[in-house]
Amino acid sequence: MNKLVVGVVALFATLAPPAMAQQAVASLETSRIVIAPPQSDLARIIKEGLSTAYYGTRAGTAAHDDAQRLYFLYGARHFEPIWLTRDSAGKIGFSPSADKIIALFRDAEAEGLQPGDYLTPAIELNRIPRNATAMAGLETAFSAAVMRYANHLHNGRIRPQSVSENFDIKPKPIDEAALLARLAGSDDPAAVLGELEPRHPQFLALKAALARFEDDAADRPAPIAQGPVLRPGNSDTRLPAIRERLKLTASTSAAYDEATVTAIKDFQRGLGLEVDGIIGPATIAALNGGPATRREDIIANMERWRWMPADLGAFNVVVNIPEFRLAINRDGREEYTTRVVVGTTKNQTPIFSDNIRHLVVNPYWNVPSSIIRGEIAPAVMRNPGYIDSQNMDLLYNGSAVSPWQVNWSQVSPSNFPFRVRQRPGPGNALGQIKFLFPNKHDVYLHDTPSKGLFSRSLRAFSHGCVRVENPMEFADALMANEANISRASLEAMFGPSERWVNPQTQIPVHLTYFTLHVDADGSIRNFGDVYGHNENLIAAMGLAAAPAPAIIADAEPIPDELSP
């Protein structure tokens, strides 16, 4: 029994109190603590286990604080169980609140969760043991199941880093003891637990799409498989299914004929894709939206919404990597949008949230060490004139040195003692402006001289940073709340010298990875899985046998350029 209780208390120690539960925590901490003596054998067993956990931890630690709160919570109840109750005939069973929570467990699939994560046989079948120690174990096991369900609602089932280390996301805290206290005194535990769900409109729209998924099953076509990029005149066994998706006259021909090319161009034009008649990964992903959307895609995107901060900020920037798009939102409404270029599958843009703190006009580009080792060091060792040709400085201990004065026979790419920066100018890889949110990944938003890439449908070409198609328009929209900063004032700074601009208010920025978007009419757009994160998550959730590889745009080779 003690091990069971200690295990539950250890679970409580993993998370700290959130804003949602601060009031409940304050009421527990500021009121006079009364430890009422147990009045039944079951209560005495519960007290013994909680007491062991409480006094067995070191004061001042999170484990001690959480054990203390749980001990006080049960102590105020004479250590009587929360979930087990005795009826008028003296029979012990689950309480009405527990029965309501069991109903939530059984309906977990409606939340994109798994009932089996919470329903042990004893809980599912309402099997209450006769032995007091076993009853106490069931009580604590139920509390553990409730906390697991609460955490899955709030943070998702899967640890983001198990999908990819490029998810730099921490779980949102829950004060589990305070939550138990609220549930114990509530006639509507579903409403209490519902507060932990994301309130983001896209999450709610995906949940609604999941609810009607089976109703739409009869009209759902099979997804079109990824495969070779198709150009006019090619042949492919997927063409009949593609024609059917485009509502063309049925044909079994595998030829990519003129009529299908025209229909594909119309389809691309309608979705804002590059209108080239080429059926590549982005076009296949778009064809697999709407009725062809898979149930597992909906659940995986709901899971990633659970990883997001509960509050994105009233005025915020969202970059959606699979969509290759940036948006500025105010009070939930989109105010501005533009195309972006993100990292390649080798140099992926990380997924995290931060705050834009600085705008830098005429920026230097401090070249990352990975680019120096992989590209610049070999080039300058072959030709010392490479540094000047790229408008760069070679720095040693912070001072510029001439590459012609270096004995390059004593240097190797793996032992390169120099830093490199590119001076401001028309050819600077960061263009005329960058938007900084200092982070351990050293990524940011910036301008670029390589404008041609924005016309591509699949725009994964950078070394990890996010290139913005219309940076000065973006800057103007971004500074809408700053009385002294505007596009005009920023453009007046253009020149040879780097200039830093610091807004009075930091702006939340979220680099996200959502492969689905639900439009206002309920239709679903699919943007494809450029890094393979979606399929990896589907596999981790047990919804598919094996992950599919990330999309590689063999029709759109990465340009031979230096760029962040």
Domain containing 374 equals: 365-423
Q: Looking at the structure, do residues 190 and 207 belong to the same domain, yes or no?
A: no
Task: Answer whether residue 418 is part of any domain.
Answer: yes
What's the confidence (pLDDT) of residue 218? 61
CA 249 → CA 271, 290, 461, distances in Å? 22, 20, 38
Same domain, 58 and 143: yes
Residue 119 maps to a domain: yes
Highest mean pLDDT among 79-88, 206-215, 554-563: 206-215
Is 50 exceeded by the pLDDT of residue 365? yes
Tell whether the model's pLDDT for residue 439 goes beyond 60. Answer: yes
One domain, residues 139 and 128: yes
Cβ partners under 8 Å of residue 443, min gap 6: 349, 350, 464, 465, 466, 511, 564
3-state secondary structure of 205: helix
Neighbouring CB atoms inside 10 A of 48's CB total: 16
Q: What is the CATH number of the domain that holds 476?
A: 2.40.440.10
Find, among 482, 445, 459, the residue nearest to 354 by Cα: 445
Q: Is 517 a catalytic residue?
A: no
Judge whether 237 lies within some domain: no
- Cα separation, 155 vs 305, in Å, equals 9
Of 64, 152, 154, 446, the catalytic one is 446
Q: Are residues 99 and 9 in the same domain?
A: yes
pLDDT digits (tens, 9 = 90+) for 372-397: 988 999 999 999 999 999 999 999 99
- In terms of domains, do 448 and 412 share one? no
Percent of the chain whose predicted confidence (pLDDT) is above 90: 55
Distance of alpha carbon 444 from alpha carbon 357, whole angstroms: 11
Residues 330-347: tens digit of each pLDDT: 999 999 999 999 999 999
Q: Mapping DSSP to helix (H, G, I), strand (E, B) and coil, where does residue 529 land?
A: coil
Residue 254 falls within a domain, yes or no? no
The answer to whether residue 145 is domain-embedded is yes
pLDDT mean over 91-118: 94
Check pLDDT > 90 for residue 469: yes
Amino acid 251: pLDDT: 86
Q: Which residues of 354-372 are buried (b: 16+ CB within 10 A; e: fewer)?
A: bbbeebbbbbbbebbeebb
State which of 379, 396, 423 marks the end of a domain: 423
Query: Could you tell me if 98 and 186 lie in one domain?
Result: yes
Q: Is the domain of 16 the same as that of 112?
A: yes
Percent of the chain with pLDDT over 70: 90
Contact partners, residue 386, CB within 8 Å, separation at least 6? 376, 379, 380, 403
Question: Is 154 among the residues known to form the active site?
Answer: no
**Domain presence at residue 538:** yes
Which pLDDT belongs to residue 29? 40
Report the 3 state secondary structure along 422-465. ECCCCCCCCCCEEEECCCCCCCCEECCCCHHHHHCCCCEEECCC
Whether residue 452 is predicted with pLDDT greater than 50 in this model: the reply is: yes
Q: Single out the catalytic residue among 465, 510, 517, 533.
A: 465
Kindly tell me if the per-residue pLDDT of 410 is higher than 50.
yes
Q: What's residue 19's pLDDT?
A: 37
What's the longest Cα–Cα distance across the chain? 96
* pLDDT tens by residue, 21-70: 333 333 334 446 778 899 888 788 888 888 887 888 889 887 787 778 77
Please check whether residues 41 and 173 belong to one and the same domain: yes
Are 447 and 537 in the same domain?
yes
Same domain, residue pair 352 and 388: no
Q: Are residues 147 and 11 in the same domain?
A: yes
Residue 56 included in any domain = yes
pLDDT tens digits along 72-103 = 878 888 888 889 888 888 788 899 999 999 99
171: pLDDT strictly greater than 60: yes
